[in-house]
């Protein structure tokens, strides 16, 4: 993947420019098909389930992903880039803060 190409850099800049859930939903809907959005949501869920030590079989049943895709998500989850881990860590932190606020 050439992240330094102008087009790829611009896409990353667009993602970083998103400042709300509403903007994110609208941008994702404009840039991807409904099928692609569902696929990416399922991959994120698979990564969450892998971190929770769920079996491939359970992940495949819940997400509808193939074993090959689940294996690919596992490879990226444990890879050097760390994209899934970074985002899942942020989501976990955000959820923890929301739970604390709700219980005060």
pLDDT, tens digit (0-9, with 9 covering 90-100), for 12-55: 999 999 999 999 999 999 999 999 999 999 999 999 999 999 99
Going through 1-104 in order, the beta strands assigned E by DSSP cover none
**How many CB atoms neighbour CB 84 within 10 A?**
21
Tell me the C-alpha distance between 14 and 4, whole Å.
15
First-to-final CA distance of the chain: 46
Tell me, what's the pLDDT at 93? Answer: 76
Helix orientation angle between 21-31 and 34-51, rounded to the nearest 10 degrees = 120
Confidence band of 92 (pLDDT split at 50, 70, 90) = confident
Residue 77's closest CA among 54, 104, 50, 57?
Answer: 50
Statement: residue 96 has pLDDT above 80: no
Taking a C-beta distance cutoff of 8 angstroms, is the pair 65, 44 a contact?
no
| C-alpha separations of 7 from 1, 14, 80 in Å | 12, 11, 24
């Amino acid at each position: 993947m050439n992240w330094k190409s102008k087009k790829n850099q611009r896409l990353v800049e667009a993602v970083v420019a998103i400042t709300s859930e509403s903007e994110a939903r609208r941008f994702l809907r404009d840039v991807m098909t409904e099928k692609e959005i569902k696929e990416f949501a399922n991959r994120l869920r698979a990564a969450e389930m892998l971190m929770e030590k769920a079996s491939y079989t359970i992940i495949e049943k819940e997400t509808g992903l193939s074993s090959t895709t689940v294996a690919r998500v596992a490879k990226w989850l444990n890879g050097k880039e760390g994209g899934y881990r970074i985002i899942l860590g942020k989501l976990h932190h955000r959820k923890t803060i929301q739970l604390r606020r709700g219980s005060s």
